[in-house]
Amino acid sequence: MAETAPPTAVVLTALSVEYEAVRAHLTDTRTLVHPSGTRVEHGRLPGTPWYVALAEIGEGTLTAATLTERVNSWLAPHLLFFVGVAGSLKDDIDIGDVVVATKVYGIQGGKQTPEGFRERPAAWHASHFLEQAARHALRGADYHAHFKPIAVGDVVLADAGSAIARHIHEHYNDAAAIEMEGAGVAQAAHLTGTLNTLIIRGISDKADLDKSKRDAEGSQRQAAESAAAAAIAVLRSLVPADAADVPARSVTGRWPLPDRRMLLNAIGALGLTVADTILTFPGRRADPAAASDPGTFGKGAGTAATVVMVPLGHPVIGHTDRVYSVAFRPDGGVLASGSADQTLRFWDLTDPLRPEPVGSPVNGHTDTVYSVVFHPKGNLVADASADQKVRLLNVADPARPVPAGHPVTGRTDAVFSVAFSPGGDLLAGGSGDKTIRLWKVTDPAHPALVGEPVLGHTDAVLSVAFSHGRRVMGSGGSDHAVGLWNVAGRPARIGQPLPGHTDRVYSVAFSPNGHLLASGSGDRTILLWKVTDPAHPVLLGRATGHGDAVNTVAFSPDGGLLASGGSDHTIRLWRVTDSAGPAPIGRPLTGHSGAVYAVAFSPDGNLLASGSADQTIRLWKRTR
């Protein structure tokens, strides 16, 4: 049975007293270091499957916003808490009480006019899921827990009669406490669209002239301990009997439904990319205390080399819905992407650290763009859509794509995958209508259907791929089957469907030399076949490790490496040879906060691109 990764929460604090209050609840801690130098202490919450990544970030709204974004993109946590102290703004909220922020006000925005200061309110609501969990978990606590709005500004309030106190009373009179970081955290979490976040504050003073006295008496420690206890109580309340069923973030920010196989963007697995100077974070099959082993790959004994893939730059943002497909132009200088936002986009990779959009999004489809592929010569792109159409575009200038002709139609259901033959004369498309169609595209303006639609699958055809250098095509479908087809003339099935998968086959790919075929499935596995004789394929092995559906597989240009992307939010790397099954390499690559639907290697093999349900594209660089 496959192991499962523990759910992980990030806890941010501003002060050392707050950090230590949370740290006291954790065991088996170790330090993780971001390339920028940001550090978190990562440990277990005893008696639960939860892991906690704890950071002391310092004071202030800007710092809180920046580091919330950083740890989210770095660690891809299930949940985030900000735990700290605050001053009370209400007579009935006392020192040692806890305020769980139902709403966060940014109190310093506005416009100064001759008539006076005009308030421009900013407010963010707490995660409904976590607020409800907190209301349940904190009933009967040793301290009083209040569920109220809080006010946030870059100011320490130590005078209840001051102008800022009057300002809060006039414009934010339902605020129960004041602090300095919550607005930054709330804004950063809001912009992710997926991060369930809760701000918990222990009351250390009454925001009055006695603040310094209260602090000297130890009120901050008391307040920090109460806030930490509250956050830990919430985490403990979220642990079900089976840790494998702890839900991760879905792309909508809600917990997924129980039937995960029906959701391509279901629960996630966490981890950190292995890097030379970065301590590792656990993947779904790894113990966090285990030492990192980046692994090796190669085509035979004595040729192994260490493989390390690290994130390159920031996520590529532009699509407004799930990214289902990515493809490199044959020269590696341009990346294409297709999305559920119904657009095709191009990205200039002259500087891979800073991909730039090329031209405007290409519209025209009326539904999800599931697949995009470059012609081997690079001057033509084909894309496929749920609107039942396949489109050919002349992209000699990708900033100004020109339709090569009218979209190819004729299907009665969505087109999920397209692929060019190695010579570029054929285009294949797999559809929800259970068929594969082949077109001769030597004249892209007038694609010619080759024979009749190819029948053989008993359900939707989700993926098609051509073997390199030979007239062999592979396919995968919702019928759990992998098919091989002779396309030297009229398409004909080669042998029987390849057995082994027990769920939808979302992706198939041939190795560059055509000797291997890999398939990824909703059954969470990858099968690797030796197909040097397509009529007699040999199963080399089954790869397990993904915590949910394997949506995409791709070979590196040298054929020694296989990448896979899953609905567990991770990318995994595998060593592959012509004589053995896939061998895992290192830890999963993490950073996406949604299902990974697409992976593709650059032509030189130095970059890996991934597309996700989180609406982003990420680039990963091979460092050795």
> Domain residues of the chain, as ranges?
8-240, 296-363+460-622
d(CA 41, CA 30): 6
8-state DSSP, 168: H
Q: Which helix (H) or strand (E) holds 132?
A: helix 128-137
d(CA 356, CA 335): 10
Q: 618 with 590: CB under 8 angstroms?
A: no
Q: 506 with 566: CB under 8 angstroms?
A: no
Q: 277 with 33: CB under 8 angstroms?
A: yes
Q: 549 with 261: CB under 8 angstroms?
A: yes
d(CA 522, CA 262): 9
Which is nearest to 32 in space by CA: 228, 231, 275, 243?
A: 275
d(CA 419, CA 624): 30
Which is nearest to 82 in space by CA: 37, 44, 127, 128?
A: 127
pTM of the shown model = 0.56
pLDDT at 154: 66
- Burial of 259 per CB tally in 10 Å (0-12, 13-18, 19+): exposed
pLDDT at 113: 61
d(CA 473, CA 421): 9
For the domain made up of 296-363+460-622, give the CATH fold.
Methylamine Dehydrogenase; Chain H (2.130.10)
Q: 472 with 494: CB under 8 angstroms?
A: yes
Q: 324 with 613: CB under 8 angstroms?
A: no
Q: Which helix (H) or strand (E) holds 497?
A: none
Q: 604 with 589: CB under 8 angstroms?
A: no
pLDDT at 26: 93
Task: Please identify every stretch of the chain with a pLDDT value under 50, giving residue numbers as ranges.
Answer: 1-5, 240-305
8-240 and 296-363+460-622 have identical folds? no
pLDDT at 607: 96
Q: Which two three-digit tokens encode residue 75?
A: 């660690």
Tokens 């029906």 belong to: 262
Residues 6+ apart with CB under 8 A from 30: 41, 42, 43, 279, 288, 289
CATH superfamily of 8-240: Nucleoside phosphorylase domain (3.40.50.1580)
- Amino acid in position 375: H
pLDDT at 555: 97
The residues facing 454 across adjacent strands are: 436
**Residues across the chain:** 624
Report CA dihedral (144, 80, 64, 356) to the nearest 10 degrees. -160
Which is nearest to 593 in space by CA: 313, 128, 267?
A: 267
Residue 207 Ramachandran class (φ > 0 left, ψ -120 to 50 alpha, else beta)? left
d(CA 229, CA 145): 11
